[in-house]
Structure 1
Amino acid sequence: METPPHSAWPYPRPDLPPVLSPAEAEHTISVWLLPKFSMLTLFCLLEPLRVANRFGRDLFAWQLLSSNGEAVVASNGVRIEVDGALDAVVSNDMLMVISSYEAEATVTAHDRAILRHVAAHGGMLGGLDTAPFILARAGLLEHQRVALHWESVPAFREEFPHIVLSAARYEFADRRLTGTGGAAGIDMMLSWIEHDYGPALANAVGRQLIHQRASTREDEAPGAVSGYELAHLPRIVLKALAIMEAHLGQVLSIPELCQLVGQSQRQLTRQFVTHFGETPKQCYLGMRLDQARRILADSRCRVTEAALATGFTHLAHFSRAYQARFQERPSVTAGRGTR
């Protein structure tokens, strides 16, 4: 079949698209899955490639890898069989890393050496959701703008303060590709398809997926005030939550908060109790503890560092409040997610 020009991609093949082998495709994407990875992220990564193969070209093949070649259990409990071990990756492949919870718990020095080997031989490396932690630990994100899941931003910033974090859904430059994961993976892969094959193909794939491409890579900050549903809240409550979020490390007193909001403490308390069943002080404490938990779960920060980063000057007070909220000591959280 004659290859169509980039500007005139045909209608999709009427037959089911073939599952290509690396030898048959122009590009091969190896996907390293870490335990508890997000299946949504995996699907949003692969589906644009599958659909692109329907448009008359044998463009993409993929293989799923695990650290040891054994099946991997996703965060939803589904067991996914893989094609091989990470050792099987070809140096000039694109290697995408997908992780979510406890990203680094099973990653070894040997695994990181493989990542560095791929990079040294010109391969493209990507990390989705929390996987930028793994790439950064291997020294592969220096001088890069990095996108990752918003919940992991505080921990990443604490541990890698020299790496520039992006508010975008994905970043693609210098043979590095990082993204927030989830549905943002569709836009990320459409962008890559457009980069290599032009906008006609990317737009056609988007239509097949019933996906309206984002007009910008910038997120709309779903976690701008993390942990709270913002719709229909009074403006004064939104302002108070935003100020709290901006002062998780340098904590304000409630009278200082009320002064910045322009509301009396009695009025603000009534609003918070009405909408959250908690006082402003209780909400503020919960936000700081949630931030501390993200830092401990996603980084190698010590308990003391996480406490100080969220405005706790007395470690005993922090530990008691943490255990009351999460039913475990902060040291347990810190020890579970990293190695």
Structure 2
Amino acid sequence: MERRDTTNIGFLVFPGFPMACLTSAIEPLRAANEISDREAFSWRVLSENGEAVTASANVVFQPDCSLRDVENLDYLFLLSDPESAFAVPASGNGHLRYLARHGVQIGAVSGGVFPLAASGLLLGHTCSVHWCYRAAFEKAFPEIAVSDDVLVLDRRRLTASGAAAMFDLMLGMIEDTLDSVVMTEVACWFQHPMVRTEGVGQSVPAFKTAGVTRDLPPPLAKAIAVFSDNLEEPVSIGDVAEQAEVSPRKLERQFKKYLGQSPLNYYRMLRMNAARQQVLYSRNSLSDVALSVGYNSSSTLSKHYRRAFGLSPSEERNQKSNRFKIERGQPIPVA
């Protein structure tokens, strides 16, 4: 594409998109323009058809234009929740592919990886997926490579796991477009203490504690990683202890000391959280959800699910569906 003095960025928003991801992108760009005293960056908010879009916080955004009418973009980022899709997929996906063919770098933040993956533009690429969506994403798009890094810049596909990661991605863009001095000043304006680049892993909560997994002793962190990698085909505590290079008894003591529960209970909760991602963010049948987290039947899954979350998978899915309809003013069927 012809090089311009201003880098033009589009943000394609879908209903329910996380507002923090948009502000985390635009605010550092605005600050960079002000600090450098030039219009180094311009941005436009787009929607599929140019109509207003309501964010997850129920704030309404009026886009600058529709996706089909946008011109002269250097970058386009998709912002959405995990269930978002184009109202007219053939047209929306086709236009994304058209832009990519004509030199626009395409990216996504948070749940935006779902509609981006559905367009086919992530095939053959690795992408960053927020840990709370990973199980649902891998089930929906098993052919796409997923990374736990906060940022993945794979050729002309740029993905960020969440709002803070999007801020980091914009800081990198500011450094490339202007210089590291401006980038550092922007980071300091917003008291952004650490600029993260590729290769930095996401912080994942150690469930039922106030800590994160990277703060745990190495054998415990290794055990959690083994559990996380074996949700569909359950592993025994003895095998996990062997891979963590500790005895089963020592592993049990470490789980009780640092996580307040047994390895078995922790493992079950990991599987329940993975199941919940699919219940909330996919249309997979409950039988398929059960099999994906190591249960032979949906009834067994439902029993453990209710114990963990206080309601069955079908009840939670119905509740979410009804909330979605209320937010969009749609009628709720009466039984």
Asked whether the two chains share a fold, i.e. TM above 0.5, the reply is yes
Structure 2 counterpart of 1:118: 99
* Alpha-carbon distance, 1:138 to partner: 0.7
CA distance in 2: counterparts of 1:82 and 1:120, whole angstroms: 24
Q: Which letter maps to 1:65?
A: L
* Alpha-carbon distance, 1:275 to partner: 5.3
* Alpha-carbon distance, 1:41 to partner: 1.1
The answer to whether 1:50 aligns with 2:33 is: no
Structure 2 counterpart of 1:314: 297
Structure 1 counterpart of 2:123: 142
Instruction: Give 1:253-264 correspondences, 5 Å limit.
Output: 253=236, 262-264=247-249
Q: Which letter maps to 1:309?
A: S
TM-score, with structure 2 as normaliser: 0.77
1:177/1:275 CA distance change after superposition, 3 Å: closer
Instruction: Give 1:161-176 correspondences, 5 Å limit.
Output: 161-176=142-157
266, 270, 276: which one aligns with 1:293:
276
Q: CA-to-partner distance for each residue in 1:278-317, whole Å, 9 max, x for gaps?
A: 6554433222111012134344544333222211112321
Contact (CA 8 Å) 2:12, 2:67: kept in 1 or not? yes
Count of residue pairs brought into register by the alignment? 312
1:217/1:265 CA distance change after superposition, 3 Å: closer
Contact (CA 8 Å) 1:31, 1:63: kept in 2 or not? yes
* Alpha-carbon distance, 1:258 to partner: 6.9
Q: Which letter maps to 2:17?
A: F
- Tell me the SS of whatever aligns to 2:227: helix
The answer to whether 1:30 aligns with 2:24 is: no
Q: CA-to-partner distance for each residue in 1:64-113, whole Å, 9 max, x for gaps?
A: 12233333222223333322333332264421111135333857332222
The answer to whether 1:249 aligns with 2:232 is: yes
Question: Structure 1 residues 205-214 or 133-142, which shifts more?
Answer: 205-214
278, 288, 304: which one aligns with 1:305:
288
Structure having greater relative contact order (Cα 8 Å, sep ≥ 6): 1
Instruction: Give 1:1-339 correspondences, 5 Å limit.
Output: 26-54=6-34, 55-90=36-71, 92-104=73-85, 108-214=89-195, 216-223=197-204, 225=206, 228-230=209-211, 241-253=224-236, 262-264=247-249, 268=253, 271=256, 276=260, 280-299=263-282, 301-326=284-309, 327-330=311-314, 333=317
- Tell me the SS of whatever aligns to 1:195: helix
- Tell me the SS of whatever aligns to 1:143: coil
Contact (CA 8 Å) 2:8, 2:72: kept in 1 or not? no
Q: CA-to-partner distance for each residue in 1:233-284, whole Å, 9 max, x for gaps?
A: 7888666545433432222345666777524499659937x954x6554433
Q: Which letter maps to 1:178?
A: T
* Alpha-carbon distance, 1:215 to partner: 5.6
- Tell me the SS of whatever aligns to 2:132: helix
* Alpha-carbon distance, 1:186 to partner: 1.5
CA distance in 2: counterparts of 1:155 and 1:134, whole angstroms: 13
* Alpha-carbon distance, 1:38 to partner: 1.5
1:300/1:197 CA distance change after superposition, 3 Å: farther
Higher helix share: 2
When the two chains are superposed, the root-mean-square deviation of aligned CA atoms in Å is 3.5
CA distance in 2: counterparts of 1:238 and 1:252, whole angstroms: 16
- Tell me the SS of whatever aligns to 1:139: coil
- Tell me the SS of whatever aligns to 1:96: strand
CA distance in 2: counterparts of 1:215 and 1:285, whole angstroms: 32
Q: CA-to-partner distance for each residue in 1:50-71, whole Å, 9 max, x for gaps?
A: 0111112112221212233333
1:227/1:72 CA distance change after superposition, 3 Å: farther
Identical-pair percentage: 29
Structure 2 counterpart of 1:15: none
CA distance in 1: counterparts of 2:86 and 2:269, whole angstroms: 26
- Tell me the SS of whatever aligns to 1:53: helix
CA distance in 1: counterparts of 2:40 and 2:106, whole angstroms: 19
Structure 2 counterpart of 1:21: none
Q: Which letter maps to 1:161?
A: P
The structure number with the bigger radius of gyration is 1
CA distance in 2: counterparts of 1:333 and 1:306, whole angstroms: 12
TM-score, with structure 1 as normaliser: 0.76
Contact (CA 8 Å) 1:293, 1:333: kept in 2 or not? no
- Tell me the SS of whatever aligns to 1:150: coil
Question: Structure 1 residues 192-201 or 109-118, which shifts more?
Answer: 192-201
- Tell me the SS of whatever aligns to 1:183: helix
Contact (CA 8 Å) 2:127, 2:154: kept in 1 or not? no
1:197/1:275 CA distance change after superposition, 3 Å: closer
* Alpha-carbon distance, 1:177 to partner: 1.3
* Structure 1 unpaired stretches of 5+: 1-23
* Alpha-carbon distance, 1:140 to partner: 0.5
